[in-house]
Amino acid sequence: MAPSQVWLMAITCGLVVANLYYNQPLLAEIGRTFGLTESRVSWIATVTQVGYTLGLLLLVPLGDKWERKRLIMGLIVLAAGCLAVAAYAPTFGVLVGASLLLGFFSAVPQLLVPMAASLASDEQRGRVVGKVMSGLLIGILVSRTISGYVGLHFGWRTMFWVGTGLMLVLVAVLARMLPRNQPYYAGSYASLLRSLGTLARDLPVLRRSALVGACLFGGFSAFWTTLVFFLESDAYGYGADVAGLFGLIGATGAFAASYAGKSADQKGPGFALRIGLALFLSGYLLMGFGGYYLLGLIAGVVILDVGQQMAHIANQTRVFSLRPEARSRLNTVYMTACFIGAASGSLLGGLAWHHYQWPGVCAVGFGLVALAYAANRFYGREAGV
């Protein structure tokens, strides 16, 4: 792959995944527009994530059946339409419906990652996946910052109009620069979906990777869900704005993704995964014992994010090596498990904070990552990988 194509995919991932997060800093403004309570307006963020999960399950497998370039461009055009409807939305109900469909059609990054893996050579696959994932991570972080600024100075509807324009420009660029990528699957859509279970049943390494990914994302979500409570507690007394700055500190994980890909290419994904897990565990240990000191908390966040990204990229690289003709479906199984793990981690983290405060959160996170280490060490070894 040409470097320009890799960067194009990375930028595309960042711009499209941003669609999911534009609404989060704008919820208060949207609530004032429609006269809604905070609990009700928060449904916009929730249904957007629900739509993304449905897109992951129902659209991403099509990457193994339909030509990927056309599929990706079509979904981005539909996402642009949803952004325009959201910008115009005369009622809250219309905005909720547009947000659900926006999440659904914004599953493009999970098509691009396996597409990049299929276009890359065996020697550069990990490096390419790492760079594409870096774009996705930066998009998640930067989108909230840009959306908050635009919403504050120009109104929340303006951000959705800007997003619409970005998607249309992106489609024009992709039409010229994105390579075509024809998959191999020739069966029906129903059989395509059924094959997800078949792949999970027949590939013990996929099951192991999915379990490890679920535990990793659970440990990650347990921390980020409760960080704002910890920062607002008597230990620090900070506000939500400081929690947002910690998100920028976590951007170090985006740079680690590229290094993780290189390590996976040079020494194998197993080596990079073990390093990532060790860093992840170290991050939680540091925050558990030194999190009440600001420097200790910052250092712990950096180590945690770097470890999580190294482990995730290495794990995903290993998954893509299993069945080249089924990479979109492999990614569907793997990422669905990760999202389930993330939701579970958020729930466990919230319960731990309620009952045991910060030590409980660190114990839950450390336990989930330790479970990921055990699963990687002992589960699915009959495959010899």
Q: What is the DSSP string of 116-178?
A: HHHHS-TTTHHHHHHHHHHHHHHHHHHHHHHHHHHHHHH-HHHHHHHHHHHHHHHHHHHHHHS
| C-alpha distance from residue 121 to each of 1, 112, 115, 118 (Å) | 8, 16, 12, 8
From-to residues of CATH 1.20.1250.20 in the chain: 3-183, 194-378
Q: What pLDDT, on a 0 to 100 scale, did the predictor assign at position 385?
A: 47
The residue behind tokens 């990614």 is: 331
Low-confidence ranges of the chain (pLDDT < 70): 1, 38-39, 239-241, 243-244, 247, 250-261, 264, 380-385
Tokens standing for 113? 């990652």
Question: What are the residue ranges of helices labelled H in 268-326?
Answer: 269-290, 294-320
DSSP alpha helix (H) spans, the chain: 3-17, 27-34, 38-41, 43-58, 68-88, 92-105, 109-119, 125-154, 156-177, 189-202, 204-232, 240-249, 252-267, 269-290, 294-320, 327-378
The token pair at 114 is 């396996």
pTM: 0.81
- Within 10 A of 226 (CB to CB), how many other CB atoms are there? 25
Q: DSSP 3-state assignment of 379?
A: coil
* CA atoms lying within 13 Å on the CB side of residue 381: 7
How far apart are the C-alpha atoms of 40 and 48, rounded to whole Å? 14
Of the CA atoms within 13 Å of residue 14, those in its CB half-sphere come to 20
Domain spanning 3-183: CATH superfamily = MFS general substrate transporter like domains (1.20.1250.20)
Alpha-carbon span 295 to 314, nearest angstrom: 29
Q: Is residue 206 exposed (0-12), middle (13-18) or buried (19+ Cβ within 10 Å)?
A: buried
Q: Tell me, what amino acid is at 88?
A: Y
Instruction: State in words which class domain 194-378 has.
Output: mainly alpha
What the block records as the tokens of 215 is 């535990």
- Which two three-digit tokens encode residue 156? 């929340």
What is the pLDDT at residue 383?
Answer: 46
- In terms of Cβ atoms closer than 10 Å to its own Cβ (0-12, 13-18, 19+), residue 146 is middle
Q: What is the pLDDT of residue 92?
A: 92
pLDDT per residue as tens digits for the range 114-152: 888 888 887 777 788 878 887 887 787 777 778 877 877
d(CA 286, CA 362): 9
44-80: b or e for each residue (b if 16 or more CB lie within 10 Å)? Answer: bbebbbebbbebbbebbbbbbbbebbebbbebbebbb
Q: Which residue from 134, 298, 305 is spatially nearest to 219, judged by alpha carbons?
A: 305
Instruction: Tell the burial category of 39 from Cβ atoms under 10 Å away from its Cβ (0-12, 13-18, 19+).
Output: exposed
Residue type for position 36: L
CB-based contact 167:1 (threshold 8 Å):
no
Please, are residues 15 and 170 in contact by the beta-carbon 8 Å criterion? yes
C-alpha to C-alpha distance for 320 and 206, rounded to whole angstroms: 9
